Amino acid sequence: MARTAFLQGNEAVLEGALAAGARFYAGYPITPSSEIAELASWRLPGLGGVFIQMEDEIASMAALVGAAMAGAKAFTATSGPGFSLMQENIGLAVMVEAPCVVINVMRSGPSTGLATKPAQADIMQARWGTHGDHPAVALVPASVSECFSLTVAAFNLAERLRTPVFVLSDEILGHMRERADIPDTETLEIWDRPRPAGDPADYRPYRPGPDGVPPLGTFGGPYVFHVTSSMHDERGVSANDAKTAAASIARLVGKVSRNAQLLPRPEVVRSGGGEGGTGAGKPVLIVAFGSSARVARQTMLDHPDHPLTLFRPRTLWPFPEAELSALVDGHAAVVVAEMNTGQLVGEIERITAGRRAVGLAWRSDGEIITPEEIWAAVRRTPGGDGR
């Protein structure tokens, strides 16, 4: 039954995972994500699922790949240092096309950094952390309700696209308690990986379906198959020739972009009249995600007469480029707010392509960015009234 609950973000992630059908968790404890592991160890065995605490995050990510091929909806949760260790086998999951979900409750780095304090500084690691050309799918919740709903979406996307999917939460969201709407599991749309059909002798684990995603067998089922971290042909046999490599990379990268309609859409909120608004001052477009977007909402509340538009991606990677681009011309300036020294801003400058000045409100000291800091960035950005 649908319910309203008073939950922590990390609890909501676990609820979302279970609702999506997750039955395998492998992980290594790390602040500020450990509640997810603890809850998984409690909840999974009674559902016939498996929780296993591995020797490190390298092994955790490897175990997800194994379990995914054995039929599990598999996930792990970590934070910066663990996410770094996972990068190797995130690449493995990309290459063998193993559906799995990685929750990164981001904390301040580099290295051990400020282990108990928030940041949003792993977003480029999520995009490019593992080596080689590869797709990346990363969802960014901004509330406890979204910690639930975007975790469900992450499993759906992982299954549908046969690729690892990230949920980038942060220490604020992970440990914050607020009212959350938890829908009835029966009402959720739950997707499963595409399954092979036909003669098992003809099954090719890398032969794509019409959407570019190859159906996936299950170890122990009738479709015997071989997957590999090496460049390979449709049978999963190593192939070193340039033609096979070019086609494989194009399909791997393209299977996400060609299915972009599956990705959670951004939220756009207007105040003070917003775009073309009647409020005093020129309209400014604020781009923020996760916890920073909550702060940006406060900036808007603090300046109700100023036309401000918040563009809040729910999918950070691939970035919702067309939706943002369409809003740029209706605003006098763009301001990016993020809890790092400026990672997303480069992507926004690329999309804005010189049409408007792009300002930056940033913070990277383990403290939460403030509404005043975002407002100051609005005011100093050319067009936002910094001239």
Partner 1 sequence: MSTYLDYLDENALPLMWCPGCGDGTILKALLGAFATLGLKRENTVVVTGIGCWGKADDYIRTNAIHGTHGRALAVATGVKAFRPDLTVVALMGDGDCATIGGNHFIHAARRNIGVTAIVANNLNYGMTGGQFSGTTPVGSRTSTSPFGHTENPFDLCRLAEAAGANFVARTTAYHFKQMGRLMVEALREPGFSLVEVVSPCPTYYGRFNKQGSASEMWRSLKERARSVGAGEAPPDDGPDAPILTGRLVNRHKPSFAERYAAVQAAAARAGEGAEPGAR
Indicate the residue among 74 and 287 with the shorter CB distance to partner 1: 74
Kindly state whether residue 70 participates in binding partner 1, applying the rule CB under 8 A. yes
Among 31, 185, 228, 259, binds partner 1 (CB under 8 A): 228
Kindly state whether residue 58 participates in binding partner 1, applying the rule CB under 8 A. yes
Among 5, 29, 31, 71, binds partner 1 (CB under 8 A): 71
Kindly state whether residue 96 participates in binding partner 1, applying the rule CB under 8 A. yes
Kindly state whether residue 102 participates in binding partner 1, applying the rule CB under 8 A. no
Kindly state the tokens that stand for 351. 């999309």
Kindly state whether residue 24 participates in binding partner 1, applying the rule CB under 8 A. yes
**Structural Rg of the chain based on CA atoms:** 21
Kindly state whether residue 231 participates in binding partner 1, applying the rule CB under 8 A. no
Q: Which residue has the tokens 């198959």?
A: 225
CA dihedral 343, 346, 347, 350 (to 10 degrees): 180
Indicate the residue among 63 and 334 with the shorter CB distance to partner 1: 63
Q: How far apart are CA 374 and CA 387, in angstroms?
A: 17
Cβ-contact 234, 207 below 8 angstroms: yes
What values do phi and psi take at 340, rounded to 5? -165, -175
Q: How far apart are CA 39 and CA 236, in angstroms?
A: 37
Of 30, 37, 138, 36, the closest CA to residue 85 belongs to 30
User: What type of residue is 62?
Assistant: A
Contact string (CB under 8 A) for partner 1, positions 233-272, x = contact: ----xx----------------------------------
Q: What's the min distance (Å) between Cβ of 22 and partner 1?
A: 12
Cβ-contact 170, 140 below 8 angstroms: no
Choices 70-78, 118-126, 176-184, 354-362 (CB under 8 A): range interacting with partner 1:
70-78
Among 19, 36, 37, 62, binds partner 1 (CB under 8 A): 62
Kindly state whether residue 23 participates in binding partner 1, applying the rule CB under 8 A. yes
CA-based diameter of the chain, in Å?
A: 69
Choices 19-27, 106-114, 172-180, 288-296 (CB under 8 A): range interacting with partner 1:
19-27
Kindly state whether residue 360 participates in binding partner 1, applying the rule CB under 8 A. no
Q: Which residue has the tokens 């409020």?
A: 279
Burial (0-12, 13-18, 19+ Cβ within 10 Å), 385: middle
Kindly state whether residue 229 participates in binding partner 1, applying the rule CB under 8 A. yes
Kindly state whether residue 64 participates in binding partner 1, applying the rule CB under 8 A. yes
175: left (phi over 0), alpha (psi -120 to 50) or beta: alpha
Kindly state the tokens that stand for 109. 């780095």
Choices 43-51, 279-287, 350-358, 375-383 (CB under 8 A): range interacting with partner 1:
43-51
Kindly state whether residue 221 participates in binding partner 1, applying the rule CB under 8 A. yes
Among 63, 213, 344, 378, binds partner 1 (CB under 8 A): 63
Q: What's the min distance (Å) between Cβ of 223 and partner 1?
A: 8
Kindly state whether residue 94 participates in binding partner 1, applying the rule CB under 8 A. no
- Where are the alpha helices (H) located in 305-369, listed in sequence order? 321-328, 344-352
Of 140, 160, 153, the closest CA to residue 256 belongs to 160
State the residues that interact with partner 1 by CB under 8 A.
23-24, 26, 38, 41-42, 45-46, 48, 50, 52, 54-56, 58-60, 62-72, 74, 88-89, 91-92, 96, 219-222, 224-230, 237-238
